[in-house]
Structures are given as C-alpha cells and as structure tokens.
Structure 1
Amino acid sequence: MFEIRVICETPDREAVVSGLRSQFNIGRVRSSLSLTSGGERLYITADLPAANPWPAPEQAYAVAPSIVREIGWTARAAAERPLYTDLGREFWLRKAAVLDRIALADDRENAPGDAAEAATKAARRLMDLDSASGLGPSGHADGPYVPDHPESTRNPRGYVRQEYAIWHKNNQ
C-alpha cells in the first residue's frame, strides 16, 4: 500500500482520479486546497492491482451448460416477462455469462463482431443490479470483488466470471 499526493486544478480532479483508478486500486480520495496553485491537493491511498484476479474462463465456465442451452434459457426467461421487467439477478448473470462465452469464442476464432461489446454491456447491467442490491463486502457470495471495486469497473466481464463461478458452485 502507498499514498499518492497530487496537486491539480479543481476542474481536472475527476480526470485525475479516474486515471489513477484505471491504474491502481485506490481508496477514498481526501482533498484540501492547495496553498500554492489555488487548485486542490489530493491524497489517495492505493495498491497495485493484482496480476489477474479473475477466474480463467475455462475455470468459471467449466461445468456450464452449452451456449445453445443458455441462449434458450435466457430467451424463455425474457419471454415470460415482457419488457424485461423484474427479470432478477439469475437472468442477468446467465445472460452476461453466455454473452461472455460467445465473445470469447469470437476472440479465439478471430471473428469480428459485436459480441464483446454486448458482453460488456450485460456485465455492467449485472454490476449495476448487484450494486443497487447492496451486496456486502464479500460480493455476492464469497467473491473477493464487489461490483463497485476498481478491478470490477476495469474488467466487467471478469466480474461476471467470478460471480458465475460462485453462483454455479452454490446452485449445483
């Protein structure tokens, strides 16, 4: 753990914090007025991010149903609730996971398409849902990263793999 001190102009504060968040796991940002520049002095506690905190796709989806079966499940679940109302966490988790698996297959076969973007959007939807539900510090079950953690924000699809592996382990 280390502390970063930055002196910046007030309008640049969010860009500075966002840039630091993209490179480090940062804690609460404390600030005070800078006596020399008239801007802000920011104090941020930070850690280096872990090399790869997420389960590998092969590990997360090792016992997952086939992609075709998961597409069928999500289509049936969506058809039962028009306009995507009240679909629940399981729907968004399984949808995000199947889209992640499709995007991974596209990457392996070097097939350009929209799968990666769709997978990221679905992952962010799951993270928003989890964040709004007020998950505890250990995530949904035993996961190390909650949806608002900088690592989760940096890699939404990694968050889906973490949560899918935990969900599947608890729902066998």
Structure 2
Amino acid sequence: MFEIRVICTPAEADEITKSLAATFRTGQVRQHPTRDRQRVRLYVTAEQPVSHWPAPETAYAKAPSIISEIGWTARGVRDCLHGIQVREFWLRKAALLDRIALTDDDPVHGDAATLAVEAARRLMEIDHAAGLGPSGFADGPYTPDHPDSIREPRGYVRQEYAIWNRHQ
C-alpha cells in the first residue's frame, strides 16, 4: 500500500481521480486547497491491483516448446488466411508472443511485449466479433470486452490459453 499526492487544478481533479481508480485499487480521495488557493492537492491511498489472470507458469505449463509453436504458427498462417482455425491460430500466436516477451529483458515495454499485446488484441477482436461468452470455452471469468481484459490483453491470452489447453 502507498500514498499518492497529486497537485492539479480543480477542473482536473475528477479525471485524475478516475484515472487513478482505473489503474490502482484506491481508497477515499482527500482533497485540500494549495496555499495559493489556485490548485488542489489530492491524497489517496492506493494498492497495486491483484491480478486475476493465470500466472504464465500455470497458463503455459503444458504448452509445446517455443520452437515447436513457431513451427505450428508458420504452418497455420495458410489455414488462417483461408478462414480455417482462425481463433486457434491467433490464440496460439498471441500465447507464443507472450512467452517470448516474458524472456525479453523488458517483458512489459520491449518490442516482443508490444507484438504480444497487438496479437492479444487481435484475439480479443475475434472473440468479441464471434460473441463468445466469458471465454472461448464459456468457463473463463473475463470476456474480451471486460475492462480488465482491455487493460491487460496478455492476461486475457493466458486465461484463454489455459482454458483451451485443458480442452485439448
């Protein structure tokens, strides 16, 4: 748990409060005027949100090797382009890129992470367009348009991969 202090104009206070609440689990915001009375000070107690996503080690525990998945993905492009196994292709590609990003020096902001997020968003678009329930197999807690999925697309991939893998 930590304390955040923000100094802003009164007009910005609501938007900043909403942004903090979207990023962290926050307590009640305390607001006080600055000495010059032109701005306000916001004080809020915050915590990192608890991740509801499967850990990578759990989601990918039974996954084939990265080299094997690269081969499957390369072979699967043709089928995907012809409308065959489109969801499976994007699910496995997104999971592969997520796994590669996890081995990167910067697993959150590196090039591999950027590609993993892009592939995850593509999977989410496919799932949303298909009108899938809470998951591709209808037993995951987060839909592709859930705020947590939008905030953490790679977490959505881990959820869907773990469910998909259980059904294989």
Which TM bucket (shorter chain)?
Answer: 0.5 to 0.7
1:98 matched to 2:99? no
1:132 to 129, 132, 135: 129
Asked if 1 retains the 8 angstrom alpha-carbon contact of 2:24 and 2:49, the reply is no
- 1:41 corresponds to: none
Asked if 2 retains the 8 angstrom alpha-carbon contact of 1:49 and 1:151, the reply is no
Any gaps of 5 or more consecutive residues in structure 1? 1-8, 26-47
1: CA distance, partners of 2:126 / 2:48 = 24
* Pairwise CA distance, 1:140: 1.9
- 1:165 corresponds to: 162
Asked if 2 retains the 8 angstrom alpha-carbon contact of 1:102 and 1:115, the reply is yes
Any gaps of 5 or more consecutive residues in structure 2? 1-10, 26-46
- 1:23 corresponds to: 23
2: CA distance, partners of 1:58 / 1:24 = 24
Q: State the percentage of identical aligned residues.
A: 58
1: CA distance, partners of 2:19 / 2:82 = 36
Structure showing greater radius of gyration is 2
Q: Secondary structure at the match of 2:104?
A: helix
TM-score (norm 2): 0.68
Asked if 1 retains the 8 angstrom alpha-carbon contact of 2:87 and 2:123, the reply is yes
Aligned residue identity for 1:22: A
1:89 to 80, 87, 90: 87
* Pairwise CA distance, 1:23: 3.3
1: CA distance, partners of 2:79 / 2:124 = 23
- 2:77 corresponds to: 78
2: CA distance, partners of 1:21 / 1:131 = 25
TM-score (norm 1): 0.67
* Pairwise CA distance, 1:135: 1.3
* Pairwise CA distance, 1:68: 0.4
Aligned Cα root-mean-square deviation (Å): 3.0
1: CA distance, partners of 2:24 / 2:146 = 11
Distance change >3 Å, CA 150–CA 68, structure 1 → 2:
same
